[in-house]
Amino acid sequence: MAHRPLIAPSILSADFARLGDEIQAVAGDGDTRADWVHVDVMDAHFVPNLTLGLPVVQSLLKATDLPLDCHLMIDDPDRWAIGYAEAGAYNVTVHAEAATDPVKIAKDLRAAGAKAGLSVKPGTPLEDHLDTLKHYDTLLVMSVEPGFGGQSFIAEVLDKVRAARRLVETGHLNVLVEIDGGINADTIEQAAEAGVDCFVAGSAVYGAEDPGKAVAALRDLAVHAQR
Ligand code: DX5
Ligand code: ZN
């Protein structure tokens, strides 16, 4: 049984000129409050899109007390990930496809006080990274090809979620399972049933009239689907 589902709105779908206010929209009290804020860092090399980097994250850390979940879609995370942990990000996720020494990255992230996350693209098998994952706190299963918000959910990746959930339940892994891409009111229940703990949602939150209400509605769907 997974724990209380966590909702992590992705600011990729927010208004970049008003990021502080956009985070405040999901930082209210009670059910409308996000659990984490998901920050997509893209370098136009690992993915064909460019977003923001460490200076923006440093400013966001001053603007909110919500935990920042930094998803690094960048080449050479061995060099760059540590800065996000040292800045105070709650969870720093690197891509398995981009990391040269992911075990060292995890150790360094943890030593800097952050949780360490490992992400796999839709076509990347979990089996190749199981030993590495023993050093990590979160597993981010991509349910779209990384790079852009608003894409359609790839349901096939739920096999990886189920496999990870089984490994957690049998004590072979100790990670929180996170999913990212195409999560909305139509897809969150199947992801929750498969065993996801943390749901990233960009367009489903920031494309909504009231982002806080969207957070509450998504969490509610996940809670009921888990049972
Ligand atoms: C895509 C990013 C996602 C993105 C999800 O590469 O990693 O976090 O913001 O957006 P939606 O929820 O719209 O698919
Ligand atoms: Zn992301």
Structural domain boundaries in the chain: 6-226
Q: From CA 152, how far away is CA 82, in angstroms rounded?
A: 31
Say if CB 96 and CB 78 are below 8 A apart. Answer: no
Is the model's pLDDT at 1 over the cut of 60? no
Of the candidates 67, 5, 12, the residue with the CA atom closest to the CA atom of residue 39: 12
Q: What is the pLDDT of residues 6-34, one digit of tens each?
A: 999 999 999 999 999 999 999 999 999 99
Could you please report the per-residue DSSP string of 72-141?
EE-S-HHHHHHHHHHHT-SEEEEETTT-SSHHHHHHHHHHTT-EEEEEE-TTS-SGGGHHHHTT-SEEEE
- Ligand 2 geometric centre to CA of 71 (Å): 5
Mean pLDDT of the chain: 98
Q: Over pLDDT 90: what percentage of the chain? A: 98
Which residues have CB less than 5 Å away from ligand 2 (the ion)? Answer: 40, 71, 180
Degrees (nearest 5) of the Cα angle 220, 225, 227? 105
Q: What is the pLDDT of residues 97-135, one digit of tens each?
A: 999 999 999 999 999 999 999 999 999 999 999 999 999
Residue list, annotated binding site for substrate:
10, 71, 147-150, 180-182, 202-203
Residue-level pLDDT at 117: 99
Q: What is the pLDDT of residues 44-70, one digit of tens each?
A: 999 999 999 999 999 999 999 999 999
Which residues are designated catalytic?
A: 40, 180
Q: Is the pTM of this model over 0.95?
A: yes
Is the model's pLDDT at 217 over the cut of 90? yes
| Residue 68 structure tokens | 């920042």
CA contacts within 13 A on the Cβ side of 152? 3
Is 10 touching ligand 1 by the criterion CB < 6 Å?
Answer: yes
Ligand 1 atom with least separation from CA of 201: 12
Q: Which fold has domain 6-226?
A: TIM Barrel (3.20.20)
Confidence grade of residue 166 (pLDDT, cut at 50, 70, 90):
very high
Is 149 touching ligand 1 by the criterion CB < 6 Å?
Answer: yes
Q: From CA 133, how far away is CA 131, in angstroms rounded?
A: 5
